[in-house]
Chain A
Amino acid sequence: MVWCLLVASLLGVLIDDSYAGAAPGGGGNFQVVGDARNKLIPVALEGYTGEVASVLKFDLEVMGCKIVPLDDSAFVVKGKVDGSVVGALTDKAGNPGFNRRYSGGTLRDQAHALSNDIIQALTGTPGIASTRILFKMKTGQRSEEVYLSDYDGHGTVALTNDKTLVSAPRWSPDHSKVFYTTWLKRGGIENTTVIQQNMKTGEREVMARYRGLNTGGAMSPQGFLALILSRGGSPDVYVAPPGWKFMDDLNGQNLRRMCVTREEENGVTWSPDGQWLCFATRANGKRMLVKVAAQGGNMIRIPTNGVLNPSEPNWSPDGKSIAFTAAMGGFNVCVVPSQGGAATVVAAGEAPTWAPNSRNLIFTRRGVNKRQLAIVDVPTKQVKIVPAFAGSASQPAWGN
C-alpha cells in the first residue's frame, strides 16, 4: 500500500538530545562555511557497521563530506546501533557537537536523520538525506512507469501501472501532486497526455490532451501550469492559469502562448518566485536557454558560455542557478548563474534536477545497457551513483 508507506515515513524519527540545549559548536569549530564548503569535509565514522554505516557514508558523501580514517579526519561521528541509532559528533580535538539517540521509523530513517543533523551542525544548512525522488523506469519493450523512492533509491514504489510510455515526472511546488506525460490510448489512438496525480489519494486528472505533443507539466508557486504543446503547428510553450481545467477548455481558449517558433522547445522550469519561465529553444540555428516573464513577453536569452546545445533546464530552489544538460558529443550536467554567464560542467550525465538544498543535483547517467541515477555535490563535483534499479531509470525529479 503506497500511501500507507508514505504516511509511515512521515511519522519521522524522534531525537533524544543527550546534550540538552547545547548548541553545536560549543567548544570546537563546527561551522564549515564559505570557501571551506567548496572542499570535501573529512569525516571519520566510528562504531557503525552494515546498513547504517553504508547509509551514513552515502548520505555524508552526497552532501560534500569524505569518509576518511580517523587520522585524516577533521570531525568524528562515533556511535552504535543497539536497536536504534546513536551518534555523537565531535571535532578532531574531541570538542562536543551533539550526542543523540534516534528512535522511530527504520534504522535507515534514523541514519538519514543523523546524517542531516551532522550536516546541519557542520554547515548550518539542512540536510537532504530524508528526501524522496520521482523518476521513470523502463519495465518492458514499450512500457515505462513513474516511480517514487527515497533519494538514495531505496524503498521504490510504482506510482503508475499503465504499461505504456511515460516521460518527465515532476512535483507540484507543494509536493502534493505529480505531473507526467503518458502515451494514453483513447479513441483508437495513442496521444501524449499530461496527467496530474494526487500523491495522497492517487486520483488522476487529464491536464492536456490536444492534437500532437502534450508535455511539460511544470507548475509555478502561484499555480500557473507550463505546458509544451504542438496544437499550434509546432512545439511551443503555453501557460494555463491557476485552477484551469482542461476538461472545461478543450479548445484551449484560456491558454497563454509564451512563444511562437518552429523550434523544439523543451524543459520548462519556473524561477522559484514564479516570475520567470525558462526553457530550451533554438534561434538562428543555435540551441539556447531563454526565459520569458510569467505574464508573457520577449524571450530573453540566458547565455551558457563555454558549452553548447543546452536543454532540460532546472531552476534551483534558491533562485541563483540553473542546471541543464549540454550535448557536445556526450552529455554533461552543467550549472550557470540564473541570469546567465559562464557555465560550469559539474558531471558527465543529463537531465539534472536540484535538491531542496540548491547544492546537490540528481541526474541520469547512461551505462552500456541501462540508464541509472547519480547525484553530484555541485561545489566539490563529487559524484555518487544511486544503486541500480531493476530497469533502466532516468529523468529524476527531486522532492522533499
Chain B
Amino acid sequence: MRGELYIKTLTCAALLGFVGMGCKSKDTAGLTSIPNFAGTGNNGGGGTNTTPGNNGNNTGLPGGNPGGNGTNTTGTNIGGTNNGNPNEPLSIPENFQEQRDVFERVHFDYDSSELRPGDRELVALVAQHLIQNPQHMLLVEGHCDERGTEEYNLSLGERRALTVAEELVRLGVAAERLGTQSLGEKVPLSEGSTKTARAQNRRGEFVLFMPMTGVVELPQN
C-alpha cells in the first residue's frame, strides 16, 4: 500500500540532539555563538489572538493594515484554528528520530502554492497517519525551482508549506504538531534547468518525527 510506513528500528541518535551552532566558529575571530534562549517548548498558552486588520473601508490594496494604530498581535494559527502556539518553532523531543522517506512528495505548478487535486489523497494519508499516531510530529518543507528570485522563492516556499499544513489542519491534525520550513530554491532535488527538473523541484516534503525504538539490555539467565 502506498504510503506504508517503513519505520526502521534504528536508534540513530546522531540525527538528533541539540546542535549548537556558533561554537564551531573558531577560525572567524570574534564571532560569538548564537546565544541560547528559552524560545522553545515551554509556552503552552498560545499567543494573544487579535483579529487582523479590518479591511472594510480600505481604499488601498487588499490586505493592508489601515488602522495602523497600536500593536497588532496577530495570533492566527495555521488554518485559523486556535490550537497551539503560533509563536514557537516546532520542538522535537530528544528521543525522536527524523524520517524523510515515509511519504511521497507533493508538487506545485509554476509560481503557485495551490495544492494540486491529485495530491489531496497523499495529504489525506499523511493526516490519517498523524491522527493515528498522536505522538508523531511533522515538518512540511516548501521548495521552489530557480525561476524566481531568491527572496521571492523563500516566501513562496513558506507559502507552499503552509498550504499543505492548512490542509492537514482542515483534516483534523492539531496545528501544534505541525511545523513549516521554507528552503526556497536552496535544496533542489534535481540540478539543471530542464522542465522536468524544475517540476521536480517545486515540491513539498513531509519530514516525520517519531519516538525512537528503545533497546534496553536485560540480565541474561
Please report A residues at the B interface, Cβ cutoff 8 Å.
1-4, 142, 144, 158-165, 167-168, 181-193, 195, 197, 200-206, 209-213, 215, 228, 230-236, 246-247, 250-267, 280-281, 283-284, 290, 292-293, 295-301, 311-312, 325, 327, 331, 350-351, 364, 394-395
Known contacts A142-B186, A300-B60; 14 additional CB pairs below 8 A are A1-B29, A4-B29, A201-B32, A204-B22, A206-B39, A209-B39, A213-B158, A213-B180, A250-B38, A255-B72, A266-B155, A290-B61, A298-B60, A327-B152
- Residues of chain B within 8 A (CB-CB) of A261 are 62-63
- A213 CA / B89 CA spacing, docked (Å): 10
CB distance from A47 to the nearest CB of B (A): 39
Q: Is the CB of B155 within 8 A of A264?
A: yes
- Residues of chain B within 8 A (CB-CB) of A187 are 18, 40-41, 89-92
Provided the pairs A215-B154, A311-B148 are in contact, do residues A161 and B27 lie with their beta carbons within 8 angstroms?
yes
Nearest opposing residue in chain B for A197, CB measure = B31
Q: Which of A165, A247, A257, A325 contacts B183 (CB 8 A)?
A: A165
Q: Is the CB of A327 within 8 A of B148?
A: yes
Q: Is B201 an interface residue (CB 8 A)?
A: no
Q: Is the CB of B65 within 8 A of A234?
A: no
CB distance from A340 to the nearest CB of B (A): 13
- Residues of chain A within 8 A (CB-CB) of B87 are 210-211, 231, 250-252
Q: Is B127 an interface residue (CB 8 A)?
A: no
- Residues of chain A within 8 A (CB-CB) of B69 are 296
Query: Which of B78-86, B99-107, B128-136, B213-221 lies on the face that meets chain A?
Result: B78-86
Q: Is the CB of A253 within 8 A of B71?
A: yes
Identify the 7 closest CB pairs spanning chains A and B, nearest first. A296-B68, A298-B60, A202-B30, A188-B92, A261-B63, A264-B155, A161-B25
Q: Is the CB of A266 within 8 A of B92?
A: no
- A142 CA / B189 CA spacing, docked (Å): 12
Q: Is B67 an interface residue (CB 8 A)?
A: yes
Q: Is B179 an interface residue (CB 8 A)?
A: yes
Q: Is the CB of A351 within 8 A of B89?
A: no
Provided the pairs A201-B30, A233-B86 are in contact, do residues A251 and B154 lie with their beta carbons within 8 angstroms?
no
Q: Is the CB of B139 within 8 A of A351?
A: no
CB distance from B52 to the nearest CB of A (A): 4
Nearest opposing residue in chain B for A210, CB measure = B87
Q: Which of A2, A165, A210, A264 contacts B30 (CB 8 A)?
A: A2
Q: Which of A186, A211, A253, A260 contacts B48 (CB 8 A)?
A: A253
Q: Is the CB of B88 within 8 A of A298?
A: no
Q: Is the CB of A233 within 8 A of B76?
A: yes
- Residues of chain B within 8 A (CB-CB) of A266 are 149, 151-152, 154-155
Q: Is the CB of B187 within 8 A of A158?
A: no
Q: Which of B19, B25, B65 contacts A292 (CB 8 A)?
A: B65
Provided the pairs A188-B18, A260-B63, A283-B62 are in contact, do residues A234 and B24 lie with their beta carbons within 8 angstroms?
no
Nearest opposing residue in chain B for A395, CB measure = B150
Q: Is the CB of A327 within 8 A of B158?
A: no
Q: Is B190 an interface residue (CB 8 A)?
A: no
Provided the pairs A233-B76, A233-B77, A258-B65 are in contact, do residues A189 and B31 lie with their beta carbons within 8 angstroms?
no
Q: Is the CB of A204 within 8 A of B33?
A: yes
Q: Is the CB of A251 within 8 A of B67?
A: no
Nearest opposing residue in chain A for B33, CB measure = A204
CB distance from A291 to the nearest CB of B (A): 10
- Residues of chain B within 8 A (CB-CB) of A201 are 30, 32
Q: Is B14 an interface residue (CB 8 A)?
A: no
CB distance from B47 to the nearest CB of A (A): 5
Q: Which of A206, A212, A234, A254 contacts B179 (CB 8 A)?
A: A212
Q: Is B116 an interface residue (CB 8 A)?
A: no
Q: Is the CB of A311 within 8 A of B152?
A: yes
Chain B 53-68 near chain A by CB (<8 Å), digits 1 or 0: 1010011111111111
CB distance from B85 to the nearest CB of A (A): 8
- A4 CA / B186 CA spacing, docked (Å): 33
CB distance from B146 to the nearest CB of A (A): 8
Q: Is the CB of A351 within 8 A of B61?
A: no
- A284 CA / B16 CA spacing, docked (Å): 43
